[in-house]
């Protein structure tokens, strides 16, 4: 396997389809209008020397190395900033150009340290390469220029270093921070020889507003900005293109290796989800894969109060299988079930649900989407006929108006957040509906046109009020509605939203959003051009989560914002493979491809293939499983890569459910919180250790490629096979590609998907079948899967979780950039430097009323429980609202969340919990006892290997 290299064309590709013909070095060539001479030359294989240019950034024209001669024009213009013209005749190599370039390079080298042999970039340094390209043999000015050797290296960032001595002031890092990431954290400070890269107000990188996305490191042509892992290990010698295992953006990376050691993860320019960009998690936070906490041997124990005992794989699997069969024989076939993982591959998820349906003989399978995007599945299937977002990420480049509801893209989906910011800097308008002032509301060169800071729990009312304005002010796209929707359903809906109680003036009374703001936002969404909606868990994690998704779909239908680039309804999925886990039949009521278990034709496909009779009744959802466990009818569970004790609401109830079970089997990288209640632990593998596919939020199926042997011995798909075989339900796949072949053969929307197809195309977006052999970037062009788009009346029903004298504040929860979900992975990386603990955001007014100061311990008390954490006083939250994250088990934010849930899907109402805040002296008694219990539970008795 070789190192995957990408061609750098020097400047970005233009969007024009018009062609221009010119001659370069005597060769005729035709390129798109707007192409730079540099790029046109590279198109025909001629590399013009360059330093400040790279094709991920706009041309800058500062290094003066890429000079060319153009017939009939004076001087030697920079080829990066000079666009081609019809009939142009260009020379890239003449005596004059050679002399000029050599002179420029002499100046660069005169103050550059010549320590190439010990430099981290040795072998991958553009300065070194270009010095060779221009034939530099001597430096007339000597080598005693100001080389900044006395300048202090900035090693404050956990992942990369800044060495001013190596800097050639090409500005690529500064421009990458601006153009690609959109943070504007860097500048060049000083002039001439004193010039240096300055983060923030000339402070260390770690203390600046730098978000450690790595774009600057990626852009740096020398060793000025270098990964610490590269400095420690050396240059990689081979690489494989794979997909990030963090959020639902699904960035493609080159895993650059030396042997089986990962040197660095470099974002892949050809990645269709990320186009060469990354965030701090995917780019740098992969150290968990080799963290000392990782469990590598299977373990069992009779009681959860016992220490763990390491055993062979054979013993662990046999024990789990025999326990499951014992429970079923005593309590019936529906007394056990399982949970698939949105962190695992499609193939692994498919196998777990297959094991449960075919091997366990019931449909008690669910997935973590239950607690995040299950309302998306219900809502979008009802409205459009398909349980998925409508667009690809590239679509945002065509949006004129972007409406963000209950999502925080710059933290939760940072690479797409950067993409969105770029479009906003180009002039698109922005509406944010969120109780909290997320970064997008006001960030460098981006400002929301309208921020509707609503009271948590009033989403449906606000969206209906927006619809009220659209309907009553005649802003409906009637042609679209008449053609694409059921007109009588539209009329019913329009009559409903037009009622006075849904007007902005009425809704303003309880939502906290002024009526004129609602009206202005509605007018902008309906009339501002192509308008796209992006939403997250602030929409779904409510008692009316599914209704909110339907209300969003209503807006898109009414304004005709569907079926073309730039528009649509786009759920931003939390985990890397939430979409895929749902697609693969992880819900208890449906098979892969969203076909209900009572659908005889779908069920017969699997019955004949798997050779077993399948249950035609829906199974238990995760909260129902826990209820049934407490009740005594559900007694065993197989949990792959999911930590329900930390991620699910009402921790006390989750703990009671797990404690009531007779056999809890946890398959994970670490002894997570759920494993405190487990009887069997099966060590899992990381995304670096197996083959497979992930499906991102835009339905894009991408390859995961194995770059190292599984440290635990098996890929997760192999472990599920071991369990299935031990339970007498044979599975004989030799490679995950064979599992995908079965998925394709049995699931109409995946019929055209195979590993060979993905290797050839890079990725495809489902549906990928005979009707769409290359996949479907934008859905619902010309029609909906269900025929007509469905308008649904969305009555606002306030949550029963109410504030009052005892619990006067509303707690809402969310994520932060540096951590991912329950933090099991990111807490085991240097990312803890940014966010070592969960904090409670509280408005200064509420803090003062309670005598709370910045950094104080505070108690958060709800009807469900209490926890303590430190206060962060900020007006990012409105008075009456507090906010925290759920990344740290020592905080256990879900001790206070309630078991209220979405009416349609049981998705928990994480976003609305009535609480009281009061000063505290430190962790609560419960937190202390939990910590002790967790420590006890994690005791391991190691067994010496036999001689």
Q: Which two tokens stand for residue 871?
A: 């206060």
- The residues that bridge with 534 in the sheet, in sequence order, are 404, 570
Distance CA 111, CA 167 (A): 10
Contact segment (CB under 8 A) with other proteins among 34-42, 443-451, 521-529, 625-633 equals 625-633
Our measurement of the distance from residue 711's CA atom to the centroid of its chain's CA atoms, rounded to an integer in Å, reads 25
Q: Of 294, 264, 295, whose CA–CA distance to 282 is shortest? A: 264
- Give least dist CB 354 to other proteins, A: 19
Tokens 């008390």 belong to 861
Establish if 116 lies at the interface with other proteins (CB under 8 A): no
**What count of other Cβ atoms lies within 10 Å of the Cβ of residue 44?**
12
- For position 785 contacting other proteins by CB under 8 A, the verdict is no
Q: Which helix (H) or strand (E) holds 196?
A: strand 196-199
Compute the CA torsion angle 566, 571, 576, 579 (nearest 10 deg).
-100
Q: How far is the CB of 872 from other proteins (least distance, A)?
A: 34
| Residue 793 and residue 492 in contact, taking contact as beta carbons nearer than 8 Å | yes
Q: Do 783 and 792 form a contact (C-beta atoms < 8 A)?
A: no
Answer for the pair 534, 549: CB distance below 8 angstroms, yes or no: no
Binding segment toward other proteins, per CB under 8 A, in 297-305, 465-473, 619-627, 814-822 = 619-627
Token digits of residue 107: 């100046």
Shortest distance, position 478 Cβ to other proteins, whole Å = 20
540 contributes a contact to other proteins by CB under 8 A: no
The nearer residue to other proteins, 587 or 883, going by C-beta atoms, is: 587
Stretch that binds other proteins, among 271-279, 714-722, 737-745, 895-903 (CB under 8 A): 895-903
Closest CA relative to residue 62, chosen from 53, 73, 75: 53
Cβ-based nearer residue to other proteins, 588 or 889: 588
Number of DSSP helices (H) and strands (E) in the chain, helices first: 29, 37
Q: Is 905 in the site for other proteins (CB under 8 A)?
A: yes
Find the binder of other proteins among 207, 516, 613, 617 (CB under 8 A).
Answer: 617
Query: If 0-12 CB within 10 Å is exposed, 13-18 middle and 19+ buried, where does residue 203 land?
Result: middle
Q: How far is the CB of 547 from other proteins (least distance, A)?
A: 7
Q: Which stretch binds other proteins (CB under 8 A): 147-155, 202-210, 279-287, 612-620?
A: 612-620
* Residues in contact with other proteins, shown as a per-residue x/- string from 397 to 426 under the rule CB under 8 A: ------------------------------
533: its two tokens: 């909606």
Which tokens go with 594? 């969203």
Q: Is 798 in the site for other proteins (CB under 8 A)?
A: no
- CA separation for the pair 297, 650 (Å, rounded): 31
Looking only at residues 644 through 683 of this chain, which bind other proteins when binding is defined by CB under 8 A? 656
Is-contact 315 300, C-beta < 8 A? Answer: yes
Residue 898 binds to other proteins (criterion: CB under 8 A): no
Residues contacting residue 543 through CB under 8 Å, at least 6 positions apart: 457, 797, 799, 800, 801, 900, 901, 902, 903, 909, 912
Contact 10, 219 (CB under 8 A): no
Exactly one of 3, 32, 188, 793 binds other proteins (CB under 8 A); that residue is 793
The edge-to-edge listing of strands for the beta sheet with 692-695 is 692-695, 700-704, 763-765
- Shortest CB 624 distance to other proteins, Å: 6
Binding mask 222-241 for other proteins (x = CB under 8 A): --------------------
Residues from 456 through 515 that contact other proteins (CB under 8 A): 492, 496
Question: Contact with other proteins (CB under 8 A): which of 795, 837, 928, 935?
Answer: 795
Among 543, 559, 763, 927, binds other proteins (CB under 8 A): 543
Kindly state whether residue 340 participates in binding other proteins, applying the rule CB under 8 A: no
Q: Which stretch binds other proteins (CB under 8 A): 57-65, 620-628, 693-701, 841-849?
A: 620-628
**786 part of the interface to other proteins, by CB under 8 A:** no
Is residue 589 involved in binding other proteins (CB under 8 A)? yes
Closest distance between other proteins and the C-beta of residue 171, in Å? 56
163-202 residues in contact with other proteins (CB under 8 A) are none
Per CB under 8 A, the segment of 37-45, 184-192, 529-537, 617-625 that binds other proteins is 617-625
Burial of 833: CB neighbours in 10 Å, binned 0-12, 13-18, 19+ = middle
Residue closer to other proteins, measured from CB, 468 or 827: 468
The answer to whether residues 908 and 541 touch, using CB atoms and an 8 Å cutoff, is yes
Provide the minimum distance between the beta carbon of 916 and other proteins in the complex, in angstroms, as a whole number. Answer: 24
Contact status: 96 vs other proteins (CB under 8 A):
no
User: Residue 793 burial (CB < 10 Å; 0-12/13-18/19+)?
Assistant: middle
- Whole-angstrom CA distances from 899 to 398, 664, 724 are 41, 22, 33
Nearer to other proteins among residue 529 and residue 798 (C-beta)? 798
Q: Could you say which of 338, 406, 563, 588 contacts other proteins (CB under 8 A)?
A: 588
Interatomic CA distance for residues 761 and 779, integer angstroms: 19
Q: Considering the rule CB under 8 A, would residue 599 count as an interface residue with other proteins?
A: yes
What are the residues binding other proteins (CB under 8 A)? 334, 363-364, 492, 496, 543, 547, 588-589, 596, 598-599, 616-621, 624, 627-628, 630-631, 633, 656, 792-795, 797, 899, 901, 903-906
């Amino acid at each position: 396997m070789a190192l995957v290299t990408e061609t750098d064309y020097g400047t970005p590709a233009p969007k024009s389809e018009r062609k221009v013909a010119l001659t370069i070095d005597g060769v005729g060539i035709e390129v798109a209008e707007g192409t730079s001479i540099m790029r046109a030359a590279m198109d025909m294989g001629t590399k013009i020397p360059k330093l400040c240019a790279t094709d991920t950034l706009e041309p800058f024209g500062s290094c003066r190395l890429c000079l060319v001669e153009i017939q009939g024009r004076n001087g030697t213009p920079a080829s990066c900033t000079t666009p081609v013209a019809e009939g142009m005749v260009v020379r890239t190599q003449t005596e004059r150009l050679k002399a000029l370039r050599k002179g420029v390079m002499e100046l660069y080298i005169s103050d550059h340290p010549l320590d190439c042999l010990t430099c981290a970039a040795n072998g991958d340094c553009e300065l070194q390469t270009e010095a060779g390209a221009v034939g530099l043999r001597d430096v007339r000015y000597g080598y005693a220029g100001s080389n900044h050797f006395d300048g202090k290296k900035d090693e404050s960032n956990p992942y990369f270093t800044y060495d001013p001595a190596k800097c050639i002031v090409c500005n690529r890092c500064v421009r990458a921070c601006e153009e690609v990431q959109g943070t504007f954290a860097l500048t060049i400070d000083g002039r001439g020889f004193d010039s240096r890269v300055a983060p923030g107000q000339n402070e260390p990188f770690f203390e600046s507003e730098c978000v450690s996305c790595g774009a600057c490191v990626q852009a740096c042509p020398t060793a000025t900005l270098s990964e610490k892992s590269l400095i420690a290990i050396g240059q990689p010698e081979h690489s494989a293109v794979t997909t990030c295992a963090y959020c639902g953006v699904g960035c493609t990376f080159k895993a650059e290796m030396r042997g089986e050691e990962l040197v660095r993860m470099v974002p892949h320019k050809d990645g269709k989800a990320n186009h060469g960009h990354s965030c701090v998690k995917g780019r740098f936070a992969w150290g968990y894969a080799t963290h000392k906490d990782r469990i590598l041997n299977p373990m069992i124990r009779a009681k959860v109060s016992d220490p763990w005992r390491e055993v062979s794989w054979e013993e662990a699997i046999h024990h789990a299988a025999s326990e499951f069969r014992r429970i079923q024989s005593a309590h019936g076939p529906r007394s056990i079930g399982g949970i698939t993982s949105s962190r695992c591959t499609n193939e692994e998820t498919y196998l777990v649900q297959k094991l449960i349906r075919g091997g366990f003989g019931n449909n008690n399978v669910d997935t973590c989407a239950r607690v995040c995007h299950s309302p998306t599945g219900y809502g979008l299937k009802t409205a459009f006929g398909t349980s998925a977002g409508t667009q690809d990420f590239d679509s945002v480049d065509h949006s004129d108006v972007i409406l963000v509801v209950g999502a925080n893209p710059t933290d939760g989906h940072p690479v797409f957040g950067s993409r969105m910011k770029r479009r906003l800097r180009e002039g698109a308008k922005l509406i944010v509906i969120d109780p909290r002032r997320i970064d997008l509301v006001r960030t460098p060169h981006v400002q929301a046109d309208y921020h509707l800071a609503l009271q948590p729990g009033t989403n449906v009312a606000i969206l209906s009020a927006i619809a009220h304005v659209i309907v009553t002010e005649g802003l409906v796209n009637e042609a679209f509605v008449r053609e694409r929707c059921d007109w009588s359903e539209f009329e019913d809906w329009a009559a409903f939203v037009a009622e006075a109680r849904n007007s902005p003036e009425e809704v303003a009374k309880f939502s906290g959003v002024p009526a004129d703001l609602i009206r202005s936002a509605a007018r902008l969404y309906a009339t501002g051009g192509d308008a796209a909606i992006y939403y997250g868990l602030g929409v779904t994690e409510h008692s009316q989560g599914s209704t909110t998704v339907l209300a969003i779909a209503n807006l898109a239908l009414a304004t005709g914002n569907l079926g073309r680039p730039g528009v649509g309804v786009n759920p931003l999925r939390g985990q890397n493979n939430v979409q895929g886990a749902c697609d693969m039949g992880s819900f208890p009521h449906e098979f892969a491809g969203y076909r209900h278990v009572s659908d005889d034709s779908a069920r017969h496909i699997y019955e004949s293939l798997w050779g077993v009779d399948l249950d035609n009744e829906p199974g238990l959802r995760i909260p129902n499983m826990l209820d049934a466990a407490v009740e005594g009818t559900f007694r065993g569970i197989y949990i792959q890569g999911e930590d329900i004790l930390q991620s699910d609401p009402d921790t006390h109830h989750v703990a009671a459910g797990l404690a009531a079970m007779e056999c809890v089997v946890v398959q994970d990288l670490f002894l997570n919180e759920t494993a405190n209640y487990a009887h069997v632990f099966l060590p899992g593998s990381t995304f670096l250790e197996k083959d497979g596919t992930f499906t991102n939020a835009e339905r894009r199926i991408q390859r995961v490629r194995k770059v190292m042997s599984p440290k635990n011995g098996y890929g997760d798909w192999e472990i599920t096979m071991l369990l299935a075989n031990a339970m007498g339900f044979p599975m004989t796949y030799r490679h995950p590609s064979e599992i995908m072949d079965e998925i394709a053969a049995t699931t109409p929307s995946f019929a055209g998907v195979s590993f060979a197809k993905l290797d050839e195309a890079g990725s495809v977006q489902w549906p990928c079948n005979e009707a769409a052999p290359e996949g479907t970037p934008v859905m619902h062009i010309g029609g909906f899967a269900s025929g007509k788009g469905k308008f649904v009346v969305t009555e606002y029903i306030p949550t029963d979780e109410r504030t009052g004298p005892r619990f006067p504040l509303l707690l809402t929860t969310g994520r932060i950039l540096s951590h991912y979900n329950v933090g099991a992975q990111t807490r085991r990386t240097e990312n803890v430097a940014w966010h070592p603990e969960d904090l409670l955001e509280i408005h200064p007014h509420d803090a003062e009323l309670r005598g709370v100061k910045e950094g104080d311990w505070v108690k958060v008390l709800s009807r469900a429980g209490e926890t303590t954490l430190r206060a962060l006083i900020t007006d990012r939250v409105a008075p009456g609202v507090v906010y925290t994250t759920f990344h740290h088990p020592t905080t256990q934010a879900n001790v206070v969340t309630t078991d209220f849930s979405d009416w349609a899907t049981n998705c928990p109402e994480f976003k609305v919990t009535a609480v009281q805040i009061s000063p505290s002296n430190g962790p609560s008694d419960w937190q202390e006892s939990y910590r002790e219990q967790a420590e006890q539970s994690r005791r391991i008795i190691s067994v010496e290997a036999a001689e």
